Structure 1
Amino acid sequence: MGGGPLKDKILVAIPGKEPTEIIKHLEKKFPDIEITFVSPAPDFTFKDSKNLPISIFKDKTILVTFFSLPPTPEDAPSLDWIHFFSAGTNHVVDHPIYKDTDITLTTSSGVHGPQIAEWVIGTALAHSHNLYNLYERQKEHKWKEEGRRYVVHDLVKQRLGVLGYGSIGRQVARLAKALGMDVIAYTATPKDTPEKRADNGYIVPGTGDPDGEIPSKWYSGLGKEDLHEFLKQDIDILVLTLPLTDDTRHMISTPEFEILSRKHTFISNISRGAIIDQPAMIAALEKGLIRGAAVDVTDPEPLPDDDPLWSAPNTIVTPHVSGNASSYIERAFGVLELNLEKRQKGEPLVNVVNRRRGY
């Protein structure tokens, strides 16, 4: 990733209409790059490159994509950087480019913060304000449910626990703080200095917690004892915003729900469904150990029609849409543009994937 003038041939392989204005902007700003655009499929379900000619990868140095990769590293001998428009790379970990090369991989982590944070806060408020129950009354043309008192437990002085304090968690924290909540954070590695607490990834301007100043307390570790210490901190709302790895799979299961039952915690999961032991969560909801849940991710996806999660009490289920935003593509290109600047200057790129950690 050396400095000097860029001499790059870039393949942008993303579904949908060509973003001509963005591409013109990049080619004007970086006159030594050449951009080729292809649309692999009409929607976001495309997960391989079977309808792309292999020859299209041959002379490309940079690939910009969601899912479309050359079948083998040998099909793209000049490739030294892949920028994913997704926040993670767990969908390509078994690909030979991921496993058998040192091609630099970057993600669009950071572009999802605003819209997903609004989903987290919006679903939490919908639950605490009884909006779903009230909407059912509206459809029945009933003023209110007879004999029921509608009491709102506002968020002031409640505690938000953010499990995985990345770009999304930081924007959730920002909104929660504005509502009067106390925020505590949990990360895999210790954040015991101001430098370690800073967000060094891509940040949508005016959002997040760039300096890591919002949490009143930080917790860290990869062991169950460390996690349980965090969960014991009287958390009212627990937000899961961490990647799916071998270490995080079923990270929240029966023992964790038993700890959270002390505060009757509300669970919000926008990361990956398998981070939660789903049957254990359903059991916790049915037993009243936790007061509710909002999940935009499930295990598996799509959620089968007969899955008991659909009818779990006090649960909001949405079909993995919290990250969708009209500005998504524009912001993802913003990460690419920032990294093109850094590549030109010979500086370290942002959002580089650490293959050992898996994100």
Structure 2
Amino acid sequence: MTSERAPRIAVGPARDARFEQAVVGGGGVPCGFEDAPDALIWTTGPDGFPETLPPSVRWVQLPSAGVEYWLSQGIVRDHPHVTWTSAAGAYSATVAEHALMLLLAGVRALPAHLAATSWAPETLAPSVGTLRGATVGIIGAGGVGRALVPMLATLGAHTLAVTRSGRPVPGAVETFPVERIDEIWPLADHFVISAIATTDVERLVGAAELAAMKPTAWVINVARGDLVDTDALVAALRSGAIAGAALDVTDPEPLPDGHPLWTIPNAVVTPHDSNPAPLRIPAYLEHVTENVTRFASGLAPSPVIDPSAGY
């Protein structure tokens, strides 16, 4: 945008005072979808997204960090002259905090403590560990992983990172390109899966990877359920090949009643709520204001979705 006028920005699928206030905070003017908006702030999932956009729309802001469904359905492809941005990075600190909570719960034997019905510290002591001096492998050190690195450092833990490019991640002891991911499994003490959700990546952790880990390792998944082979994970948990797993995402999802992961004592499952609505909406509102500010100033909103990369 130039400085000639403030951009007209619609909020969909329905007008929402909270998001219109965020638009105003960024220097935009809220308007209806029928009023030739310059941009569209979308607040829900892909269902119900309009098949056609007004020709005036030059930018669309999506509410999710992962955009694989938007891409697989052709929604982004069908509007090639529009700049599309995701909410990647907006929720990083919230999800990283949840991942740290799960990791600490595992390392400090919280599941066993919660299951206890009598005072028997001597039986629990051997399973209690610490993150002080431990090495944590972060598989997919994007926004969430980078937010997690300093949290772990505060507790005295070291990090090894895996990214697509292998470019150094600030604070990590070493960063591996994804082509060298097999090197990390025997090196780290614990693992956090926080890889960006793309359609071309699945089953990063299977039977071979679990077998290569230390028997004291905890595996945390806050990314996508199918990045971990569920059957292989259940077998590893039951055999003691690894110490435990804590999952905010599962395959299948929702995890059905009666699934072994609900009752295996060294498994922790949270129902995909690492980024719950009470925290997600304020973070998204802040992201909207920041991007509207950029758009109104003639700068490109961020991060721009690259269909060829899948995010």
Q: CA deviation at 1:167?
A: 1.4
Which residue number in structure 2 is paired with residue 34 of structure 1? Answer: 30
SS at match of 2:72: coil
Which residue number in structure 2 is paired with residue 202 of structure 1? Answer: none
Equivalent-residue separation in structure 2 for 1:23 and 1:101 (angstroms):
24
Distance 1:255 1:136, change over 3 A: closer
Question: Are 1:91 and 2:87 an aligned pair?
Answer: no
> Is the CA contact (8 Å cut-off) linking 1:235 and 1:263 kept in structure 2?
no
Equivalent-residue separation in structure 1 for 2:13 and 2:270 (angstroms):
24
Equivalent-residue separation in structure 1 for 2:67 and 2:22 (angstroms):
27
Question: Are 1:219 and 2:180 an aligned pair?
Answer: no
Question: Are 1:156 and 2:117 an aligned pair?
Answer: no
Which residue number in structure 2 is paired with residue 241 of structure 1? Answer: 194
Number of residues paired by the alignment?
307
Which residue number in structure 1 is paired with residue 274 of structure 2? Answer: 322
Q: Percent identity?
A: 25
Which residue number in structure 1 is paired with residue 184 of structure 2? Answer: 230
1:61 to 30, 35, 38: 38
Which residue number in structure 2 is paired with residue 120 of structure 1? Answer: 99
- Structure 1 residues 175-214: Cα deviation after superposition (integer angstroms, max 9, x where no partner): 11000011111100131xxxxx5xxxxxxxxxxxxxx431
SS at match of 1:243: coil
Q: CA deviation at 1:237?
A: 1.4
Larger mean Cα displacement after TM superposition, 324-333 or 83-92: 324-333
Q: Give the TM-score taking structure 2 as reference length.
A: 0.88
Equivalent-residue separation in structure 2 for 1:105 and 1:24 (angstroms):
21
Q: CA deviation at 1:6?
A: 4.9
Question: Are 1:104 and 2:80 an aligned pair?
Answer: no
Contiguous gaps of at least 5 residues in structure 1: 37-55, 192-196, 198-211
Equivalent-residue separation in structure 2 for 1:29 and 1:183 (angstroms):
37
Q: CA deviation at 1:123?
A: 1.8
Q: CA deviation at 1:295?
A: 0.3
Question: Are 1:8 and 2:7 an aligned pair?
Answer: yes
Question: Are 1:348 and 2:300 an aligned pair?
Answer: yes
Distance 1:18 1:100, change over 3 A: closer
Equivalent-residue separation in structure 1 for 2:247 and 2:59 (angstroms):
33
SS at match of 1:96: coil
Which residue identity does 1:120 align to in structure 2? Answer: A
Larger mean Cα displacement after TM superposition, 239-248 or 159-168: 239-248
1:163-202 equivalent positions in 2, closer than 5 A:
163-191=139-167, 197=168
Which residue identity does 2:301 align to in structure 1? Answer: L
> Is the CA contact (8 Å cut-off) linking 1:253 and 1:280 kept in structure 2?
yes
Equivalent-residue separation in structure 2 for 1:295 and 1:85 (angstroms):
23
SS at match of 1:93: helix
Distance 1:92 1:57, change over 3 A: farther
Q: CA deviation at 1:236?
A: 1.1
Q: CA deviation at 1:215?
A: 0.4
Q: CA deviation at 1:64?
A: 1.6
Q: CA deviation at 1:317?
A: 0.5
> Is the CA contact (8 Å cut-off) linking 2:111 and 2:268 kept in structure 1?
no
Higher relative contact order (CA 8 A, sep 6+): 2
Distance 1:85 1:246, change over 3 A: closer
Distance 1:285 1:58, change over 3 A: farther
SS at match of 2:286: helix
Which residue identity does 2:257 align to in structure 1? Answer: D
Q: CA deviation at 1:263?
A: 5.2
Distance 1:288 1:350, change over 3 A: same
1:77 to 55, 58, 64: 55
Which residue identity does 1:132 align to in structure 2? Answer: P
Equivalent-residue separation in structure 1 for 2:55 and 2:139 (angstroms):
39
Q: CA deviation at 1:25?
A: 5.6
Equivalent-residue separation in structure 2 for 1:136 and 1:308 (angstroms):
16
Q: Give the TM-score taking structure 1 as reference length.
A: 0.77
- Structure 1 residues 44-82: Cα deviation after superposition (integer angstroms, max 9, x where no partner): xxxxxxxxxxxx467333222231553423x53333221
> Is the CA contact (8 Å cut-off) linking 1:115 and 1:322 kept in structure 2?
yes
SS at match of 1:150: helix
Question: Are 1:285 and 2:237 an aligned pair?
Answer: yes
Q: CA deviation at 1:265?
A: 2.0
Which residue identity does 2:177 align to in structure 1? Answer: S
Which residue identity does 1:237 align to in structure 2? Answer: H
SS at match of 1:267: strand
Q: CA deviation at 1:28?
A: 5.8
Which residue number in structure 1 is paired with residue 209 of structure 2? Answer: 256
